[in-house]
Structure 1
Amino acid sequence: MPRFRYKVIDEAGNIMEQEGDYPSEEVLLGELFRGGYALVRIEKIEKEEKRAEDKEGKRIKLHFGGVSDRDISIFCRQLGTMVNAGLSIVDALKIIADQTPNKKLALAANDVAVKVSEGMSISSAMQKHPNIFPEFVINLVKVGEETGNLDVSLLKVADYYEKIAMIKSKIKSASFYPTFVVVVATAIVSGILYFLVPTFAGIYSSLGGELPLPTQILITTSNVLRNSLPTVIVSIIASLFIFRYFYGNSYVFRKNIHKLSLRVPKMNDLIVKSTMAKFARTMATLFSAGVALERAFEIAGQVAGNLVIKEAVEQAKKGVIEGEPMYKALDKTGLFPKLVIAMVKVGEDTGRLDNMLETIARFYEDEFDKTVDGMIKLIEPMLIVFIGGVVGLILIALYMPIFKMGELIKT
């Protein structure tokens, strides 16, 4: 059966672009006329679909690096601003493609511009590059096209990804310092064990006598490290590769890791607050843009990050589809804080759910910032004390025999 793409205006003045299979163009025109729609454009797309399928293998691949949230935010803000200023979508996309430093995003923007100039809607053109443009972007762009407020939708997307980028940046900054300090401290301790301890061990063995227990343990550790250094390095690298493989390919393994992270003190607080901020921000943006609640739940689950919370969102979505109020569906999962439940209930009762979700998002974004700052302030002195303690114990164990030099020397 032939497939047609058509653009129409409904009785309320909204512009819509859709696709469908119909026996003939006359049948489609008859249905549109009976529905009260004014036809803007109609085209048969069988050949175009075939060309798209043939080109499917030419999709832009992200071998190294990709398109970051910040890249998407800048792209949508520039496009929204240009569309608002009256520039055509094709010209705006070409200008952005020439200016953006991200080559993959530039290639995708150019391709979208070509497809739009051929008559395809911008959301449909973006769908051809799912590894460049997330579903969140495509859905809001589609809503913007249908309502005639494309510029508003694009600016909402820009604001959203700007917020998400800030959350991710905070998480990276919070984890970078302790990771860097631990790596440097491990390198220093390994250097002491590998180079310094054997020198002292040689001196002490020439003296004879029995060494203190801490010194014996230190020398044994040093010998194991020196004799098995290649094995230790290979084991660490192999463990990292195995973990990465299972984390990337095993849903059960990844879910167990995420479940464990929710039980670690302090970390669980950080994860819950960041996830609630992303969930509420996503739902608020999609719901206010006119995306169906069911679809909003699907996308919010995808951006949650934690599989345990993602499954809870999917469970809540089923409850909403079955007719439950949103606050009850969220409460049944047992993972959403009481504050979220209470505020969603107020939003539903007052008919201002999008505003209440926006309030929840702002609240948890602020709480997340405070938690990250608090953790950094707490981790800093703890790491200093821990590393200082380890190095101190090594030095004490190393110099203990010197304090008992008389007992060690055998005549």
Structure 2
Amino acid sequence: LVYPAFVLALCALLLIFAPVLVFSDLLDLLAELKTDLPLPTKLYLGFSDLVRSPLAYLVLAAGLALVVVLARKLLQDEERRAEVEAVILQMPGLGPALKSAVSAEVTGALAVSYGSGLPLLSALNLSAEVSLSTLLRQKMEASRESLTAGETLSAALHETGFFSPVSLLILQAGEEVGQISPALESMARQSAESTRHALELMQKLLEPLLLLFVGMVVGFIAIATLAPTIKMVEGL
């Protein structure tokens, strides 16, 4: 996702610095005109004044600092973190990619710990602890209880909702032939591959939207600056 982030950053820099470095003199000239300016030009002049005002940056910095403080305070509560994570996992594109990444992380840790000789329940506890997902750690508590009650590992992991049907079928097949450790390794590889595919799909969906957004920004700037200029030249 480096390319979409780069395009967004470039577009943000264009919006911020174009009024100051490129169109500063032209915008000042347009502001002094007594004629009625088009709405895009008025909006761009207002944005230009905002960008060139030091007070705007102070307000922005204070707002960002407040958001960071509130976010840190909010996310210190494990229940709140799990709620925020649950919302993020429902997002199209991003949610499936994160689920696949988390499941790959957990199954990889589970394969290593169980393959090294730890009992299955201990390996499950360890893999849950190394996960960065608060929501998964909470759901794994129910999985541990199910495993203790005699459920299979595939059935216990199914309860979390993080593991894909394909990966669970791989594990179920491994359980039936007594090859759990190789099945867990295959699960981890399958989840990692699913993560890669999900990220590629999300990037393919984002690229046309980004191009549309950049085109709209450039078109808006062009209309805001050229329309009154052409009108002024025609009036000479």
Structure 1 residue 248 displacement after superposition: 5.5
Correspondence for 1:397: 224
Do 2:102 and 2:131's aligned partners in 1 also have CA atoms closer than 8 Å? yes
Query: Structure 1 residue 407: deviation in Å?
Result: 7.9
Instruction: Give runs of aligned pairs for residues 64-79 of structure 1, distance below 5 A.
Output: none
Q: 1:303 to 1:177 in 2, by over 3 A?
A: farther
* Structure 1, unaligned runs of 5 or more: 1-173
Q: Aligned AA for 2:103?
A: M
Q: CA deviation at 1:241?
A: 2.9
- 1:211 maps to 37
> Can you list the C-alpha shifts for 1:123-158, whole angstroms capped at 9, x where unaligned?
xxxxxxxxxxxxxxxxxxxxxxxxxxxxxxxxxxxx
Provide the TM-score with structure 1 as the length reference. 0.51
Map 1:341-356; keep pairs closer than 5 Å: 341-356=168-183
1:319 paired with 2:173, answer no
2:88 corresponds to which of 261, 279, 293 = 261
Q: Aligned equivalents of 1:322 and 1:278: distance in 2? A: 25
Q: Could you say which residue in structure 2 is the equivalent of 1:123?
A: none
Deviations 1:155-180 (A, max 9, x none): xxxxxxxxxxxxxxxxxxx3x44333
> How far, CA to CA, are the matches of 2:28 and 2:109 in structure 1?
64
Aligned letter for 2:195?
F
**Counterpart residue type for residue 8 of structure 2:** V
Structure with greater contact order relative to length (CA < 8 Å, sep ≥ 6): 2
3-state SS in 1 of match to 2:159:
helix
Q: Is the 8 A contact 2:167 2:191 kept in 1?
A: no
Q: How far has the Cα of 1:362 moved from its partner?
A: 1.7
**RMSD of aligned alpha carbons:** 2.6
Query: What is the number of residues matched between the two proteins?
Result: 235
> In structure 1, what is the equivalent of residue 11 of structure 2?
185
Q: Does the 8 A contact of 1:198 with 1:219 survive in 2? A: no
Letter in 2 for 1:394: I
Structure 2: which 5+ residue stretches go unaligned? none
Structure 1 pair 291/255, CA: closer, same or farther in 2 (3 Å)?
A: same
Secondary structure class of the residue paired with 1:323: coil
Give the Å deviation of 1:190. 0.3
Name the residue aligned to 1:277: 104
Q: How does 1:51-130 map to 2 (within 5 A)?
A: none
Query: C-alpha separation between the residues in 2 aligned to 1:313 and 1:336?
Result: 12
State how far apart, in whole Å, the 1-side matches of 2:85 and 2:52 are: 36
1:146 corresponding residue in structure 2: none
Residues 205 and 379 (structure 1), Cα distance of their counterparts in 2 relative to 1, 3 Å cut: closer
TM-score, with length taken from structure 2? 0.85
Counterpart position of 1:226? 52
The residue type equivalent to 2:112 in the other structure is T
SS at match of 1:182: helix
Q: C-alpha separation between the residues in 1 aligned to 2:8 and 2:86?
A: 25
1:301-320, aligned counterparts within 5 Å?
301-320=128-147
8 Å contact kept, 2:136–2:162: yes
Task: Give, in whole Å, the separation in 2 of the partners of 1:204 and 1:389.
Answer: 22
Residue deviations 1:319-352, cap 9 Å, x none?
1112222222223333432223333222222211
Q: Which has the larger radius of gyration?
A: 1
> 1:249 corresponds to which residue?
76
Taking a change above 3 Å as real, the CA distance of residues 388 and 243 of structure 1, as seen in their structure-2 partners, is: farther
2-structure distance, mates of 1:240, 1:376: 28
Residue 381 of structure 1 deviates from its aligned partner by 4.9
Q: Secondary structure at the match of 1:333?
A: coil
1:226, 1:317 → 2: CA distance? 58
Q: Distance in 1 between matches of 2:192 and 2:23?
A: 49
Alpha-carbon separation, structure 1, partners of 2:171 and 2:98: 20
Distance of aligned partners of 1:205 and 1:181 in 2 relative to their CA distance in 1, 3 Å threshold: closer
- Cα gap change, 1:280/1:182 in structure 2, threshold over 3 Å: closer, same or farther? same
Whole-angstrom CA distance in 1 between matches of 2:225 and 2:77: 45
Give the match's secondary structure for 1:209.
Answer: coil
C-alpha contact 1:270 1:372 (8 A) present in aligned 2: yes
Kindly provide the CA deviation profile for residues 191-239 of structure 1, in whole angstroms up to 9, marking residues without a partner as x: 1234445533331243311111111111122223333333244135414
Q: 2:186 & 2:219 partners in 1: Cα distance?
A: 49
